[in-house]
Chains A and B, each alone.
Chain A
């Protein structure tokens, strides 16, 4: 099992600092939820973990090796990514798209296709196997991309707002799936805008919520911590209200000064 570690990581784009000395460790089997205002550097952090953003200082370590030393295929064996936006301009079938995500395996095309069928079934997207991804809706496309991630069979999974643009039922379902993959022993680092959805993955005490603002880590707390609503309020500059539901606590934002 692999461990992902950001050590004093800074990333700059020209003069602008996107990440400022971030140190964060995602241990094997851990679930870390990354929250923060727009432009806080969340996506940059995920991209740095993939080697898509070069550190200006500090380093990213994957399975006790520097990320830069790993070749592309071994990196892909350890870490996989569900991006926020999927490019779908080529009229490829869902199945072909998922089979292509098996690139890191040295296997025949028939084997890739079988694995792709399993991955599509796993995420409940078998019905998109023969449809062209260009003809799928945003939510359907997201499912196919999720199947790509599953088909890659990596130890660490990175998600960039996986429930973005989905209807409530789909949102719950995506997070339930995420919880399933986590409980199988994978580590998860997930950018999220609605902590209430995180309860879908189960075991709130083991979900670590990490706040990022202006490129810096500002707090860290378990999902069930009493202080979490206050942390979230400070992070986004809003008031928060906690409501105890039948199965979980809901944290809701409210404009500052409003009564």
Chain B
């Protein structure tokens, strides 16, 4: 098992390195610029986003005791979408403190939706399934709001909204990396500290309670930290499908369900997977970039079906 985990880490590192190097041949000063000013920061953003989405997916699957839970489940992504649409409908080029208005509004929307769900979660009597339902309700309500905004928006805003909703790694340079890194690192590091209580959750929420886990506090902490991480990612990149869903299942299949392995390995595999998908997105159509969200969805869906089919055998 340890050897497998080590192999997987090495594989992830190779994929990350490969993602920086693949592409048209680069020479001279221009090549240096493309590698160090464009590709490396983009790979770093991809690593942060992929790692965070995958880890939060694994944590939420444990927390809700539901294999279909992801970072989108508690309304974070839907909230971000409403925020982004709102900003695009007003003015897509405006900035706040040097940040795109879209990013700021998406972040605020994501946090607002998550807060709504978290307020349910902190109730002592709520069961995890209630929180899951609350997440679905908030997602549906915000989607209705999003449709309302789209209905009133002009065609340029609609086009921008569609682009945004496909999900892609933005060209944000090192400044973007520096903005994203502390939020993602904080969220992931603190989530990893919850490993032991999440492990106790594996045999059931009530049993974990009887074993000394403070369930309402755990739920609130995991939701708040997870939402913070996901909100930062979605604000920059838009919704990127399937990473949070598929990666934990993939790791679980390869290395078992012990959260002491599953959580850190989801982090590694999530980072490598998203960056690799992004490299594909850069190269698959020559001279044009696809949004990475399309690639993750196209690869993620069959992978999930494959994993489920293998699991049934």
Task: List residues of chain A with CB under 8 Å of any chain B CB.
Answer: 47, 50-52, 54, 71-73, 75-77, 79-81, 83, 86-93, 96-97, 100-101, 103-104, 109, 132-133, 145, 148, 152
**Contact across chains for A97 and B210 when beta carbons are under 8 A apart:** no
- Chain A residues within 8 Å of B30, by CB: none
Contact of B211 among A86, A88, A103, A109 (CB under 8 A): A103
**Contact across chains for B206 and A104 when beta carbons are under 8 A apart:** no
**Interface: B214 (CB within 8 A):** yes
**Contact across chains for B125 and A148 when beta carbons are under 8 A apart:** no
- Chain A residues within 8 Å of B202, by CB: 87, 90, 92, 97, 100
Indicate the member of B203, B206, B252 with the most A CB atoms within 10 Å.
Answer: B203
**Contact across chains for A51 and B256 when beta carbons are under 8 A apart:** no
**Interface: B38 (CB within 8 A):** no
**Contact across chains for B212 and A76 when beta carbons are under 8 A apart:** yes
- Chain A residues within 8 Å of B204, by CB: 83, 86-87
How many of B's residues come within 8 Å of A, CB to CB? 26
Known A76-B211, A79-B210, A104-B212: A86·B260 in contact at CB below 8 Å: no
**Contact across chains for A103 and B207 when beta carbons are under 8 A apart:** no
Indicate the member of A47, A76, A80 with the most B CB atoms within 10 Å.
Answer: A76
**Contact across chains for A73 and B206 when beta carbons are under 8 A apart:** no
**Contact across chains for A93 and B256 when beta carbons are under 8 A apart:** yes
**Contact across chains for A89 and B196 when beta carbons are under 8 A apart:** no
What's the least CB distance linking B110 to chain A, in Å? 28
Q: Mark B233-263, 1 if CB is under 8 A from A, else 0.
A: 0000000000000000000100011101000
The docked-state distance in angstroms from the alpha carbon of A72 to that of B235 is 37
- Chain A residues within 8 Å of B200, by CB: 100-101, 103
**Contact across chains for B257 and A54 when beta carbons are under 8 A apart:** no
What's the least CB distance linking A151 to chain B, in Å? 9
Known A96-B258, A100-B199: A83·B206 in contact at CB below 8 Å: yes
The docked-state distance in angstroms from the alpha carbon of A241 to that of B141 is 62
A-B contact pairs, 14 of them (CB 8 A): A52-B206, A86-B207, A87-B207, A89-B67, A90-B202, A91-B256, A96-B258, A100-B200, A100-B211, A103-B200, A104-B211, A132-B257, A148-B207, A152-B211
Known A100-B202, A145-B203: A87·B65 in contact at CB below 8 Å: yes
**Interface: B116 (CB within 8 A):** no
**Contact across chains for B258 and A87 when beta carbons are under 8 A apart:** no
The docked-state distance in angstroms from the alpha carbon of A97 to that of B211 is 12
- Chain B residues within 8 Å of A73, by CB: 212
Known A71-B214, A90-B257: A96·B199 in contact at CB below 8 Å: yes
- Chain A residues within 8 Å of B65, by CB: 87, 89
Known A86-B204, A91-B252: A75·B212 in contact at CB below 8 Å: yes
The docked-state distance in angstroms from the alpha carbon of A163 to that of B295 is 52
The docked-state distance in angstroms from the alpha carbon of A71 to that of B211 is 12
- Chain A residues within 8 Å of B214, by CB: 71-72
The docked-state distance in angstroms from the alpha carbon of A12 to that of B267 is 44
What's the least CB distance linking A143 to chain B, in Å? 13
**Contact across chains for B258 and A101 when beta carbons are under 8 A apart:** no
The docked-state distance in angstroms from the alpha carbon of A53 to that of B260 is 31
- Chain B residues within 8 Å of A51, by CB: 209
What's the least CB distance linking B147 to chain A, in Å? 35
Indicate the member of B207, B252, B256 with the most A CB atoms within 10 Å.
Answer: B207
**Interface: B197 (CB within 8 A):** yes
**Interface: B213 (CB within 8 A):** yes
What's the least CB distance linking A149 to chain B, in Å? 9
The docked-state distance in angstroms from the alpha carbon of A259 to that of B252 is 60
Of residues 177 through 232 on chain B, the ones whose CB sits less than 8 Å from some CB of chain A are: 196-197, 199-200, 202-204, 206-214
Closest 6 CB pairs of A and B: A76-B212, A104-B212, A87-B204, A90-B202, A90-B257, A73-B212
**Contact across chains for A72 and B209 when beta carbons are under 8 A apart:** yes
The docked-state distance in angstroms from the alpha carbon of A76 to that of B204 is 15
What's the least CB distance linking A55 to chain B, in Å? 13
Known A92-B258, A97-B203: A80·B252 in contact at CB below 8 Å: no
- Chain B residues within 8 Å of A90, by CB: 62, 202, 257
Known contacts A73-B212, A79-B210, A100-B200; can you find 10 more A-B pairs with CB under 8 A?
A76-B210, A83-B206, A83-B210, A87-B65, A90-B257, A103-B208, A103-B211, A132-B257, A145-B203, A148-B203
